[in-house]
Amino acid sequence: MLELAATGERTLELSFAGDTYNTAVYLRRNSDAEVGYFTGLGEDEHSSAMRAAWREESIVDRSRTIRGRLPGLYMIRTGDDGERSFTYWRDASAARTLFQGAGWTDALDGDLVHLSGITLQLTTRQSRSELLTRLAELRAQGTLVSFDTNFRPAGWSSSEEAAEAFAAIRGVTDILLASIDDETALHGRDSPEAHIRRLAASTPGEVVLRCGADGAYVADEGTVIHVRAKRVAHVVDTTAAGDSFAGAYLAARLAGDPPSRAAQAGNTLAGSVIQHRGAIVPRSA
C-alpha cells in the first residue's frame, strides 16, 4: 500500500508498506531465498514506483495489473510512546478488486506461502473458500503455509466474522504467527500460555504468540517455550514490529533453525525496528 506518515502537523511523507510486504522485505533481507510478492496494482505512477521499490529490495514482482484501479492508501500517526494509529482508504483498491474475484488463487505457489488477516479482509466468503482449497492443495504438495493474524477490526463486519475466517485458515497453516493483542481482542483476556495452547489445539503446525516487550511464546509438538526479549530503552515507532518479527522468524525457519531460535531472531529484529521511524528501516540499521 501507499503509506503517508505524519512528519508534522500538516506534512506527510510517502513510502510503501503494509503487513505482508513488510514481512517480505525483512524475510528477503535475512535470507538468500527468492521472495516474491503477489497483489493487485494499477497502471498509475505510484504502482510503477511501488514495483521499483520491490526491485530495490530484490523482491520478485508477481503482481497483477487491474485496469482502472489504484493502490490502497493509509495514513499513520505515531504517539510519543511509539504507538501508532491508522486511517485507511482502500475500499476500491486494486488489491481488493483482485482478491474479491475468482481464479487468482491459481497464482499461489512456492516453498512457502505467507498471508495475513489483512489479506483475508480483502476477500469475500467465496474467494476465501477458493483460497482454503488452494492452500490445502499446496500443502499436499509440500508447500508450507504461514499465517499472521494481524487483526484490524475496521476491516471486518464483526469480530465474529474475523474469528471464523481465522479459525478456517488455521486448519491449513504450518506456521501460525499470532499476537497477544489480537487474541485478547478476539477471545478476551487470558494468560499467554492459555491463548497459545488454545491456538495450538486447532493448528496442525507450530504456533508463535508475540507478546511485545515480553518476547514470544512458541508451541511446537505439545511443548510451550517462552522466548524472552531484551528490553528496548527508547521505543520510537512500533510500526512493523510484528511484521519484522515474522520476516526474521520465517528466514530462520527456512534456514533450518528450530522454532525457539527463530523466535529469538524475531525478537532481536523487532527490537531494532522499533527504534526507528517507519515500517521499513534503513539497511544500515
Assess whether pLDDT exceeds 90 at residue 222: no
Task: Report, as an integer, the average pLDDT of 80-94.
Answer: 82
pLDDT digit string (tens) for 131-159? 999 999 999 999 999 999 999 998 899 99
Asked whether 271 and 248 are in contact (CB, 8 A), the reply is: no
| Model pLDDT, residue 90 | 85
DSSP 106: G
**CB-CB contact of 17 with 54 (8 Å):** no
- Residue 168 buriedness (CB in 10 A; 0-12 / 13-18 / 19+): middle
Q: Cα separation of 90 and 98, whole Å?
A: 12
By the 8 A CB rule, do 153 and 163 touch?
A: no
Residue 278, CA distances (Å) to 105, 149, 150, 242, 274 in order: 31, 21, 18, 13, 9
Residue 75 pLDDT exceeds 90 = no
Quickly state the pLDDT bin for 7 (edges 50, 70, 90). confident
What is the per-residue pLDDT for 80?
76
pLDDT band at residue 83 under the 50/70/90 scheme = confident
Q: What is the pLDDT of residues 26-72, one digit of tens each?
A: 999 999 999 999 999 999 999 999 999 999 999 999 999 999 999 99
pLDDT mean over 5-21? 89
Single out the residue of 199, 190, 207, 133 nearest to residue 163, CA to CA: 199
Task: Name the helix (H) or strand (E) containing 23.
Answer: helix 19-29
**Confidence check: pLDDT of 285 > 90:** no
Backbone φ and ψ for 59, nearest 5 degrees, come out as -100, 130
Confidence bin at 81 (pLDDT 50/70/90): confident
Write out the three cell numbers for 154: 475496521
What residue has cell string 531472531? 265
How high is the pLDDT of residue 91? 85
Distance CA 21, CA 220 (A): 26
In this predicted structure, which of 112-126, 129-143, 230-244 has the lowest mean pLDDT? 230-244
Domains parsed from the chain with CATH numbers: 2-273 (3.40.1190.20)
Phi-psi region of 161 (alpha: psi -120 to 50; beta: other; left: phi over 0): alpha
Looking at the DSSP bridge assignments, the partners of residue 122 are: none
pLDDT of 78 strictly over 90: no
> What are φ and ψ of residue 55, in 5° steps?
-60, -40
The SS3 of residue 196 is helix
The answer to whether residues 234 and 198 touch, using CB atoms and an 8 Å cutoff, is no
Q: Tell me what pLDDT residue 92 has.
A: 86
Q: Which residues are paired to 84 by β-bridges?
A: 78
Q: What is the CA radius of gyration of the chain?
A: 18
- Residues assigned a catalytic role: 243
pLDDT the model gives residue 66: 97
Polymer length in residues for the chain: 285
Instruction: Return d(Cα 226, Cα 214) in angstroms, integer.
Output: 9
> What is the pLDDT at residue 184?
97
Percent of the chain with pLDDT over 90: 84
Asked if pLDDT for residue 24 goes beyond 90, the answer is yes
Rounded CA gap, 172 and 135, in Å?
7
**156-178 tens-digit pLDDT:** 999 999 999 999 999 999 999 99
Query: Does residue 237 register a pLDDT over 90?
Result: no
Question: In the numeric block, which cell numbers belong to residue 262?
Answer: 527463530
**Tens digit of pLDDT for each residue in 178-216?**
999 999 999 999 999 999 999 999 999 999 999 999 999
Confidence class of residue 221 from pLDDT cuts 50, 70 and 90? confident
pTM: predicted TM-score of the whole model, two decimal places:
0.94
